[in-house]
């Protein structure tokens, strides 16, 4: 295998806005794309592929908007294809759009597999080589840089290596600054990547190479790392690995692997300080794409440094490196000590320390809290998924949660008649708030929505800060079938998780009951109480 020299510079090429946008269920607006561009630029990405100018209205409008949007670190790249057969480069619509857009870098893909040349393009091999040469030469006259994406390169090499290499030579000799080898179908194994990249380096030792891997076999990250070890210097991928089919190589995983875990690689812009923003960039892209973050994602997922087992937590409390391969802060993440029936006093002590609370090891409170947690867990409470409720449980045992309000009575009415077939839902609350009785009612789109509106209406005159509280998600799980000990409340018990947020962050609360509304009410009250406690009202 290629022996990488010390401190070899790696260049990051992000295609979240183009290849990532082809992911099932993801659609970016122009504003979305600009927001992600600015975050990637601040992170220290070298190239940001904005899309295909002229292919659709969003991409065309994005490149127009980018004319007045400065970038501080990254170079903007526009994507397209080689010119059509029978159409000269200067008259090809795709190449004209690339030449005229504001991006200083043009990335074009061409066919390197003879089977694709014959079936997809329906032209001769020689004509395909002339198309590659003409397209690169044309763009070189209009752009600062041209990157050639050798589509289906590894499949083409395995089928006919001499022709695949000839396509690379055509692009390089015509002026391409980088030849990116694409595992377009995502079916190549790491050992094949190593052998083929080595063969390319032997044939074109003067060329600078890139890697573009898809994840159809779950190997996009491994294949990218292997290619770098074999001499590739430009790594293409997307944040969180989003992309067509099974996705692209995940830059959120590749970047820390190369810059933290492996030795001998460096980046011009993405230094150790920038790495501490990686978690936030990952979550921002998920938020903008309107997809739930993958909590078990390496390095940046919420569970990447989460510890649940009591033995693990006991060791972590003594030396975090015993169960963590890096410091979570190095990628902007944080350690989470989960409270559950599998944990012990070490978990509770660790949570208390994180909250700035000191509980002596000999304190009976530790045993009491541990017993309560295990009892509640046997009833279906999941404090690992609802850390806000875990914190409230701990503080309540220690007498550190004020009585912001007490509930005298609540009920929910659903009404539907033959004359009025639309379901009417109303929640009524009677609360005691600082010695004042508040009796309110509110209608909603459902029972939980009606309860939330009523609770907010009752509390806002006393706690106006609640204007900043937003409920963002509501999840229900039926506990039947989870094991006899998991639902001592009864076979019809449900667990409700409510995700809430404010301008400072987000949190999750839990409720469990045989009654869906009661379980929802528990989680809802905890959400409001956690907000008030956090803001020290």
Buried b (16+ CB within 10 A) or exposed e, 359-386: beeeeeebeebbeebeebbbbbbbbbbb
As a whole number of angstroms, the distance between CA 122 and CA 487 comes to 64
Res 451 pLDDT > 80: yes
- 209: which 2 tokens? 């190479």
pLDDT of 197: 98
Output the pLDDT for position 483. 43
175-189, 294-308, 325-339: range with highest mean pLDDT = 175-189
Looking at residue 414, its pLDDT comes to 86
When the pLDDT of each residue in the chain is averaged and rounded to a whole number, the result is: 90
Mean pLDDT along residues 345-373? 77
Q: In angstroms, how far is CA 362 from the centroid of its own chain? A: 42
* Three-point CA angle 170, 172, 176, nearest 5°: 120
- What would the mean pLDDT of 491-512 be, rounded to a whole number? 88
Residue ranges of alpha helices (H) inside 322-468 are 345-354, 364-378, 387-397, 447-459
143 in a structural domain: yes
Percent of the chain at pLDDT > 90 equals 69
| 501 shares its domain with 366 | no
The residue whose two tokens read 């004319």 is 67
- For residues 371 and 490, membership in a common domain is answered with no
Q: Distance between the two ends of the chain, CA-based, in angstroms? A: 62
Q: Return the CATH number at 483.
A: 3.30.160.340
H-type alpha helices, 16-113: 30-43, 57-65, 93-100
Evaluate if residue 448 carries a pLDDT over 60: yes
User: Which has the minimum average pLDDT: 303-312, 490-499, 522-531?
Assistant: 303-312
Number of domains forming the structure of the chain? 4
- Among 419, 439, 462, the domain-final residue is 462
Residues 6+ apart with CB under 8 A from 133: 170, 171, 173, 174
More confident residue, 121 or 5: 121
Specify the range with the lowest mean pLDDT, choosing from 231-240, 253-262, 411-420.
411-420
Q: Does 39 score more than 80 pLDDT? A: yes
The DSSP call for residue 489 is T
Do 323 and 365 belong to one domain? yes
pLDDT tens sequence across 170-180: 999 999 999 99
* Listed residue (182, 189, 237, 241) closest to 209, CA to CA: 182
Which domain-ending residue is among 378, 413, 433? 378
Considering only residues 325 and 348, tell me which one the structure prediction assigns the higher pLDDT: 325
In terms of pLDDT, which residue wins out, 83 or 401? 83
Tell me if 395 is assigned to some domain: no
Name the nearest CA neighbour of 171 among 193, 203, 147, 154: 147
**Residue-level pLDDT at 484:** 38
Average pLDDT over residues 250-254: 98
Asked if 73 and 116 sit in the same domain, the reply is yes
- Residue 172: φ, ψ to 5°: -65, -45
Q: Are residues 361 and 490 in the same domain?
A: no
Rounded Cα distance, 199 and 138, in Å = 29
CATH, residue 232 = 3.20.20.70
Q: What is the pLDDT of residue 348?
A: 76
Whether 322 and 451 map to the same domain: the answer is: no
Look-up: residue for tokens 């295990």? 374
Say whether pLDDT at 219 is over 80: yes
Cβ–Cβ < 8 Å for 509, 380: no
Cα-based angle 200, 144, 198 (whole degrees, multiple of 5) = 10
How confident is the model over 286-296, as a mean pLDDT? 88
User: 68 phi and psi, to 5 degrees?
Assistant: -110, 15
Triad 204, 209, 213: Cα angle to 5°: 130
Per-residue pLDDT for 320 more than 90? no
For residue 340, the model assigns a pLDDT of 59
Residue 443, both tokens: 């209608």
Count the neighbouring beta carbons within 10 Å of the beta carbon of residue 46. 22
Q: What is the mean pLDDT of residues 66-87?
A: 96
Average pLDDT over residues 132-152: 97
Same domain, 145 and 185: yes
Q: Please check the confidence at residue 481 and state whether its pLDDT lies above 70.
A: no
Q: Is the pLDDT of residue 70 over 50?
A: yes
Residue 2 lies in a domain: no
Q: How far apart are CA 378 and CA 483, in angstroms?
A: 10
Does residue 389 sit within a domain?
no
Query: Taking 60 as the threshold, does the pLDDT of residue 487 lie above it?
Result: no
Residue numbers of the domain that contains 78 = 8-289
Question: For residues 51 and 58, what is the distance between their CA atoms, to the nearest angstrom?
Answer: 9
Rounded Cα–Cα distance for residues 512 and 376 (Å): 9
Show the CA angle centred on residue 61, arms to residues 58 and 67, nearest 5°: 140
Two tokens at 434? 């600082």
The helix/strand/coil state of 281 is helix
Same domain, 325 and 342: yes
Give the domain-ending residue among 289, 321, 337. 289
- In this predicted model, which residue has the larger pLDDT, 376 or 279? 279
Same domain, 170 and 64: yes
Same domain for 94 and 178?
A: yes
Do 31 and 100 sit in the same domain of this protein?
yes
The answer on 352 and 225 residing in a single domain is no
**Residue 164 — pLDDT band, cuts 50, 70, 90?**
very high
Residue 101 lies in a domain: yes
The verdict on residue 227 lying in a domain is: yes
Q: Nearest-CA neighbor of 19 among 68, 98, 76, 79? A: 79
Per-residue pLDDT at 305: 86
Q: Which helix (H) or strand (E) holds 412?
A: strand 406-415
Q: In this structure, is residue 141 part of a structural domain?
A: yes
CB 36 within 8 A of CB 29: no
Adjacent-strand bridge partners of 213: 183
Does residue 301 lie within any of the structural domains?
A: no
């Amino acid at each position: 295998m290629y022996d990488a020299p010390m401190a070899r510079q790696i260049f990051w090429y992000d295609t979240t806005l183009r290849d990532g946008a082809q992911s099932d269920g993801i659609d970016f607006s122009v504003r979305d794309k600009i927001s992600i561009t600015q975050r990637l630029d601040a992170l220290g990405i070298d190239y940001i592929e904005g899309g295909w100018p002229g292919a659709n209205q969003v991409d065309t409008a994005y490149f127009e908007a980018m004319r007045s949007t400065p970038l501080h670190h990254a170079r903007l790249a526009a994507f397209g294809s080689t010119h059509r057969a029978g159409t000269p480069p200067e008259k090809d619509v795709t190449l004209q759009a690339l030449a005229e857009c504001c991006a200083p870098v043009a990335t074009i893909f061409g066919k390197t597999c003879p089977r694709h040349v014959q079936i997809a393009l329906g032209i001769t091999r020689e004509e395909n080589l002339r198309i590659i040469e003409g397209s690169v030469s044309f763009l070189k006259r209009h752009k600062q840089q041209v990157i050639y994406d050798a589509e289906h390169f590894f499949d083409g090499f395995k089928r006919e290596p001499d022709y695949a290499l000839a396509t690379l030579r055509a692009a390089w000799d015509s002026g391409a600054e980088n030849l990116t080898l694409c595992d377009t179908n995502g079916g190549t194994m790491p050992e094949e990547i190593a052998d083929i990249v080595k063969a390319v380096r032997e044939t074109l030792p003067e060329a600078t190479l890139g890697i573009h891997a898809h994840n159809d076999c779950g190997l996009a990250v491994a294949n990218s790392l292997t290619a770098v070890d074999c001499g590739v210097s430009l790594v293409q991928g997307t944040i969180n690995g989003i992309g067509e089919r099974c996705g692209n190589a995940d830059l959120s995983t590749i970047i820390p692997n190369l810059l933290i875990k492996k030795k001998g690689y460096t980046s011009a812009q993405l230094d150790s300080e920038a790495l501490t923003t990686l978690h936030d960039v990952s979550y921002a892209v998920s938020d903008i794409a309107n997809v739930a973050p993958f909590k078990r994602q390496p390095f940046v997922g919420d569970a990447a440094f989460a510890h649940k087992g009591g033995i693990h937590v006991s060791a972590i409390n003594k030396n975090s490196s015993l169960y963590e391969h890096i410091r979570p802060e190095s990628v902007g993440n944080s350690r989470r000590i989960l409270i559950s029936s599998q944990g012990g006093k070490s978990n509770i002590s660790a949570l208390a320390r994180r909250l700035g609370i000191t509980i002596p090891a000999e304190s009976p409170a530790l045993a009491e809290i541990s017993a309560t947690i295990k009892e509640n867990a046997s009833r279906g409470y999941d404090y690992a998924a609802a850390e806000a409720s875990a914190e409230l449980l701990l503080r309540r045992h220690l007498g550190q949660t004020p009585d912001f309000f007490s509930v005298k009575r609540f009920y929910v009415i659903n009404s539907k008649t033959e004359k009025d077939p639309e379901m009417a839902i109303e929640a009524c609350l009677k609360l005691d708030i600082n010695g004042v009785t508040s009796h309110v009612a509110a209608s909603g789109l459902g029972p939980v929505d009606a309860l939330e509106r009523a609770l907010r209406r009752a509390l806002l005159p006393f706690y106006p800060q609640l204007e900043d509280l937003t409920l963002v998600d509501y999840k229900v799980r039926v506990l039947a079938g989870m094991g006899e000990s998991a639902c001592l409340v009864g076979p019809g018990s449900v667990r409700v998780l409510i995700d809430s947020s404010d301008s400072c962050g987000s949190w999750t609360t839990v409720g469990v009951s045989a009654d869906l509304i009661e379980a929802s009410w528990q989680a809802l009250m905890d959400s409001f109480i956690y907000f008030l406690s956090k803001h020290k009202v």
